[in-house]
Amino acid sequence: MPRTALVTGGVSGIGSATAVSLKDAGYAVIVNYFGNDAEAEEFHAKTAIPVFNWNVADFEATQAAIGGIVATSGPIEILVNNAGITRDSMLHKMTLDQWRSVIDVDLGGCFNACRAVISSMRERRFGRIGNISSVNALSGQFGQTNYAAAKAGIIGFTKALALEGASRGITANVIAPGYTDTGMVNRLPDETLRGIVENVPAKRLASPEEIARGVLFLVADDSSFINGATLSINGGKYMA
């Protein structure tokens, strides 16, 4: 039986590329999305991957949705926490809602989904968790104190979870993408986007598929000794 993988925020961008890459590699893939039904329907029609609509920032909704998936499709063995939003603003102008919404979705959603699958992974003594962070968690970014905080929090969260799960055959790792050719990035003003690309040594954006290849590597069965790591895929923009 193929292993079952759940990708949150999986109908577009990095999430979509990851879901398709996992399916092509033989996994049984399920994706989550929130709000954009037309985009989800188009993704499902194109890929035949099942899609489920809920807000990962909602703890109870996440527990119920993943519980329902497990009841019909079996245990989630691979979890990719990709769902995320931005609400950019300089701190002296940032509203409480802009702060909370990004923390709740990007970091809270990671906790909510992990919490829903971790007990089963511990019981079965196997699990692969891949959490999508960002180059801006490592380098910081003007106007993104909320996003950088959430994505940096994912890195600390993942390291602690890696320690907790290691003896149970569970790995938890981070993928920290650089700027990637997705709808989120392409909504930036042209001048801003040109400046970003100019500051990447590779002089281009990543493709979503390039990020997905990193995820696929980390969640593989034979990546069992890679745990608590942060894999940066950023074209050389930030090197630690």
Q: Give one word for 74, left, alpha or beta, with left for phi > 0 and alpha for psi -120 to 50.
A: left
Q: Map tokens 């692969």 to a residue.
A: 128
Q: Which residues are catalytic?
A: 147
- C-alpha Rg value of the chain to the nearest Å: 17
Q: Are 13 and 180 in contact (CB under 8 A)?
A: yes
Q: Name 173's bridge partners.
A: 130
Q: Are 218 and 18 in contact (CB under 8 A)?
A: no
What is the phi/psi pair of residue 170, to 5°? -110, 130
Tokens standing for residue 204: 């281009």
The CA angle 57-92-194, to the nearest 5 degrees, is: 80
The Cα 182–Cα 208 span in angstroms is: 7
